[in-house]
Amino acid sequence: MKNLKKKRRKRLILLSFLFLFTSVGLIGYAMRDGINFFRTPSQVVESPPDPSEVFRIGGLVEEGSLVRGEGETITFRVTDTNVSVPVRYTGVLPDLFKEGDGMVGTGRLVDGTFVASEILAKHDEDYMPKEVVDALKDQGVYVDPREQEGANGS
């Protein structure tokens, strides 16, 4: 009788671990495409990712670089004020997208051009993605808009 209980307990523990490992494996497999790494234009130029890697790039839309092509194709350059990377996007840009403002794009680097599948723009005058702010602060070119308002006497 004791051997039967031991065998059942061992089977239950073994099945529990098997179920746990299978669940973790399936969750990891499902999330493999959902994890996108953020890079600045400088990081993209220094160590270009594989053309198959999906990642996010963020920075400022370079002044004078926005060109609307035929149809819905738009090209522009994204910069961190140190280096700029050409971007090509086919689709409708967000309403608040404009030159000189912050943006984050998701896509792949193909032949030196970032081909975006999604473009996000700031949502008000004070917003910029945290990663972009950190990258600009590291280069010493970021000025907090709230500090700028105080200096202007606003």
Percentage of the chain surpassing pLDDT 90?
Answer: 27
Average pLDDT over residues 134-139: 78
Fold for domain 37-143? OB fold (Dihydrolipoamide Acetyltransferase, E2P) (2.40.50)
The whole-model pTM stands at: 0.61
Which residues neighbour 112 within 8 Å (Cβ) at sequence distance 6 or greater?
Answer: 48, 85, 86
Distance, first Cα to last Cα, the chain: 84
CB neighbours (10 Å) of residue 141?
12
What's the pLDDT at 154? 47
What's the pLDDT at 113? 93
pLDDT band for position 139 (cuts 50, 70, 90): confident
Span 29-83, pLDDT tens digits: 877 666 667 888 998 999 888 888 888 898 889 998 888 877 788 999 999 888 9
* pLDDT for 126 beyond 80: no
What's the pLDDT at 129? 67
pLDDT band for position 27 (cuts 50, 70, 90): confident
* pLDDT for 151 beyond 60: no
pLDDT band for position 23 (cuts 50, 70, 90): very high
Span 5-17, pLDDT tens digits: 888 899 999 999 9
DSSP helix/strand/coil, 3:
helix
